[in-house]
Amino acid sequence: MHGYQYHGPDPGGELSKYATREDAAADIAAAAQEAARRVEPLRGRIKRGGGLERALEEVGRASGR
């Protein structure tokens, strides 16, 4: 994702492994879903003000959960 952040889509694969914006978006969505999956078990142990709950709900809606 770092190469995409700095160089954008690169159909030739020289500066980024992402040929299209959709390729990068799919990896970003997968990373967000994985982060949400790992945070979910910690819900009861984290002191929070509601931001974590809203973020997890949004990721859940986006992934169809």
Tens digit of each residue's pLDDT, the chain (65 residues): 777 788 888 888 888 888 899 999 999 999 988 988 888 887 777 666 667 777 777 777 876 65
pLDDT at 26: 93
Q: Where are the domains of the chain?
A: 2-63
pLDDT at 16: 85
Give the burial string for 17-42 (b: 16+ CB within 10 Å, else e). Answer: ebeeeeebeeeeeeeeeeebeeeeee
pLDDT at 53: 75
pLDDT at 17: 87
pLDDT at 47: 67
